[in-house]
Amino acid sequence: MSNTDVIVSEAAKRYASALLELAESSKSLKTVEKDLKTLKGLFAKSEDLTRLANSPVISDADKSKALLAIAKKAKLGKLTTQFIGTCTQNQRAGEIPAMISAFNEMVAAKKGTGSAQVFSATKLSAAQLTSIKTQLKKSLGRNVAIETHIDPELLGGFAVKIGSRYFDSTLKTKLEGLKMAMKEA
C-alpha cells in the first residue's frame, strides 16, 4: 500500500491551493479535476514516471520536456499542463502526486464531502461499494468519494483510509493477530 500513501508537504499544499484558485478563477475546475485524476493514474501505473520525477540525475529541463510530452499525449488541459511545467521549473516534479492529493482534499472540503481509500484483495461489487459509502456517510456525517485499490496480499476483507485514520478488517491482519496471540500462549 505504500505506493498509494502520499505525504503532503506544506509546499505541496501551497501549490495545490494556488492551482485550485486558478482553476476556480478561470472556471475550469471540472477540467483540472479530470486532468489530475488522469495524471494521478499515470503516476500510479508507472514506476518509471515516478522515478523520472524524483530523479536528481535528470535535469529539470529534461524532466519538463518528458512531463509536458506526457501531458500532451494524455490530452491534459492548458492550466494543468502549465502547472506541471511550473512544478518542474521549480524543482518540485517529484511532489506532483502529493500536490494532486492535497488538491483533491481541498476540493472535497469545498464541496462538503470527504474522500476515502478502500483497499481490498479483489474488486468490490457495486453493492459492496454502496454499502461502504453508506456506512461512511453515517459515521462521518457527509458524503464520501471512494477510491478503490486492489491488493491481493490482503487475502480477504477490506481496509479503509480516511485522512490519517485507518480502519482494517482484512483477513491478513486478522491472521497476523491470531499468529501473535498463539505465540504468546
The domains of the chain, with CATH numbers, are 10-108 (1.10.520.20), 113-184 (no CATH)
- Per the document, the length of the chain is 185
Confidence of residue 3 (pLDDT cuts 50, 70, 90): very low
Q: Is the pLDDT of residue 1 over 60?
A: no
Helix or strand or coil: residue 149?
A: strand
Min mean pLDDT across 83-92, 122-131, 174-183 is at 174-183
The per-residue pLDDT for 4 is 44
Residue located via cell numbers 464541496: 111
Helix or strand or coil: residue 150?
A: strand
Q: How far apart are the first and last CA of the chain?
A: 31
At 64-111, the pLDDT tens digits run 999 999 999 999 999 999 999 999 999 999 999 989 988 988 888 888
| Stated pTM of the model | 0.68
